[in-house]
Amino acid sequence: MIVLENITKQYNIGKPNQLTALDGINLQIDAGEMIAVMGASGAGKSTLAHILACLESPTSGSYHFDGEDVSQLKDSRLAKVRNQGIGILLQNFALLQEDTALGNCEIPLYFNKTRLPEMKEKALQALKKVGIEALAKQKVGTMSGGQQQRVALARAIVCDPKLVIADEPTGALDSATADEVMEQMKILNQGGTTMLIVTHDQTVASRCSRILHMKDGHLH
């Protein structure tokens, strides 16, 4: 499903402060895997996640997603691949606090040009999958951290992506709530969604089927 070949990512190329964030990354991820990526701050974890999520393009190397080389696509095509095939879950949730859970989940469907009659139904289905359909009409700003993270997870899966990338999904949660969120992610994975989770938490990583370690831009 995913094949990275000799992926390198550099910033400030040709300048005194040039930085190599990823250096010759090779990785294969099969459909249905649940993978954790661990490493110290600055190891390159988030950069790897951003490239896999089609938020950034590599400086060199190839990235095949679902059979297509997406490493050098134009922004418009890259956005289409991301919107249709990849769900993204961020540590800070990135939710509209004044909107409802339902409204937040409808946003990706709007950008994916889903027909209006289908948007509400699909958003409700996503909220149901993560166990919070009862909160559909509640404003996100009134919810607990765990509830907000579930809304963010529902939004990430609302377009039925083949891959969900989660960057420190439990970093802002207490241990009990983090365990609940990980259980929901495990259930989604068992339903066929491929997961890649960036985390510093060994307990979170232990819930995954494979653990990768990053150091100085290299995978180990």
Provide DSSP, 120-167: HHHHHHHHHHTT-GGGTTSBGGGS-HHHHHHHHHHHHHTT--SEEEEE
Q: Across the chain, where does the E strand assignment appear?
A: 2-11, 19-29, 34-39, 60-65, 68-69, 86-89, 163-167, 194-198, 210-215, 218-219
Per DSSP, what are the bridge partners of residue 218? 215
Give yes or no for residue 78 having a pLDDT over 90: no
pLDDT of 12 > 90? The answer is yes
Whether 95 has a pLDDT exceeding 90, the answer reads yes
pLDDT score at 74: 87
Nearest to 150 by CA among 118, 126, 120: 126
Q: How confident is the model at residue 212 (pLDDT cuts 50, 70, 90)?
A: very high
- The pTM of this model reads 0.90
- What pLDDT was estimated at residue 160? 92
Starting at the earlier edge strand, list the strands of the sheet with 68-69: 19-29, 2-11, 60-65, 68-69
Residue 117: the pLDDT is: 85
Q: What is the mean pLDDT of residues 73-80?
A: 87
What confidence tier does 75 reach under pLDDT thresholds 50, 70, 90? confident
Distance CA 54, CA 161 (A): 13
Measured CA to CA in angstroms, residue 199 lies from 72, 154, 161, 163 at distances of 27, 20, 21, 17
Give the mean model confidence (pLDDT) for residues 63-81: 90
pLDDT-derived band at 151, boundaries 50, 70, 90: very high
Domain 2-219 sits in CATH 3.40.50.300: yes
pLDDT digits (tens, 9 = 90+) for 96-150: 999 999 999 999 999 888 998 899 999 999 999 999 999 999 999 999 988 998 9
Reference 198, options 178, 159, 169; nearest CA is: 169
pLDDT value for 155 = 95
Paired with 195 in beta bridges are 34, 164
Q: What is the pLDDT of residue 174?
A: 84
- Taking the C-alpha atoms of residue 26 and residue 47, their distance in angstroms, rounded to an integer, is 14
Give the model confidence (pLDDT) of 160-199 as tens digits: 999 999 998 888 788 888 888 899 899 999 999 999 999 9
Helix (H, G, I), strand (E, B) or coil at 37: strand
Cα separation, 131 vs 91, in Å, equals: 20
Query: What pLDDT does 32 receive?
Result: 96
Tell me the per-residue pLDDT of 19-45, one tens digit each, with 9 for 90 and over.
Answer: 999 999 999 999 999 999 999 989 999
Q: How far is it, in rounded angstroms, from Cα 163 to Cα 53?
A: 9
Chain centroid to Cα 37, Å, comes to: 12
